Amino acid sequence: MRLATVNDSGAPRVGVIEGELIRLLPAQEGDMVTLIGRGKAEIERLVEAAPLDTIPLADAKLMAPIQRFGRDILCTGWNYWDHFEESRGKREGQDVDKPKAPTFFTKGPNTVIGPCDEIGLDPHISAKWDYEAEVAIVIGKRCRSVSKAEALDYVFGYTLANDVSQRDLQRRHGGQWLKGKSIDKTMPLGPFLVTGDELDVPEITLELTLNGETMQSAKLKQMAFPIAELVAELSFGMTLEPGDVIITGTPSGIGNAREPAIFLKPGDEMVVSATGLGQLRNRVVEADLHGTTDIPSMSETK
């Protein structure tokens, strides 16, 4: 099953994608998080229960699948060893030993934008805007301290994310990543939410192109810690709720690790794609994101 959230006359509406059409579920049945909590079988029942309005997929204005967040987005760092290794010596004195367990952090939900929305770039906030293609998972059932063997039973579906990051903000705030990952309206999410029965997850190829040039490409089976292990580790003593979004890490090829480094600039176009998950296509535009702050420009604090 492939689900999407579309802009229907200014309001989010959930639909089921069938071929080149989207069948819109009745608005009164709730948003994506509500429907996820009711389960895949109930969604299928709703689809079969009555005739539904349809719109062509090509005409739909797709939004991020999840529009309502009960917590920060849960994030995984250094989950491809080649990505961990490519940044050795480039973390500005904040290098660490190779992790023996997954590295987790969070980012604010106000970062989330749609799969084709523009990404504002403000050099006052950061001089080092970088890209990170990731696969995201969405939790389907409340869980706590689940085993790796049962962890995937609690994953409702998979989607794409681009964890656009501000590398200088990461360094400025002690090496922890919250601030350098949480600038508003900078993380595309989508375009669809795809259930696992439609995917061969380890064989998914995740890629990012920048202005048509391939910058990142890897299979999910290259993850240092597979998705089941991430869910088990995150849920260890900590409750996960339906609708929680977990991004699962980026492969090598980030701009900060390149020689010379490549950072985003206005006019750039990024495309994140993955087998069976569609694509994110986002253009970078210049924007004033700092407003009336008295925090100095990052170009002045080097």
Mean pLDDT score across all residues of the chain = 95
Check: CB of residue 128 under 8 Å from CB of residue 146.
no
Q: Does residue 52 register a pLDDT over 90? A: no
Q: pLDDT at position 175, please?
A: 75
Q: pLDDT at position 179, please?
A: 93
| Domain(s) of CATH 3.90.850.10: residues in the chain | 73-300
Q: Please state the rounded mean pLDDT for residues 99-128.
A: 97
Kind of pairing, strands 112-113 and 187-194?
Answer: parallel
CATH of domain 73-300: 3.90.850.10
Q: pLDDT at position 8, please?
A: 93
- Per-residue pLDDT of 204-221, as tens digits, reads 999 999 999 999 999 999
**Distance, first Cα to last Cα, the chain:** 48
Q: Does residue 284 register a pLDDT over 90? A: yes
- Per-residue pLDDT of 68-104, as tens digits, reads 999 999 999 999 999 888 877 666 656 778 899 999 9
Q: pLDDT at position 176, please?
A: 80
- Per-residue pLDDT of 224-255, as tens digits, reads 999 999 999 999 999 999 999 999 999 999 99
The pTM for the full model equals 0.96
Q: pLDDT at position 120, please?
A: 98
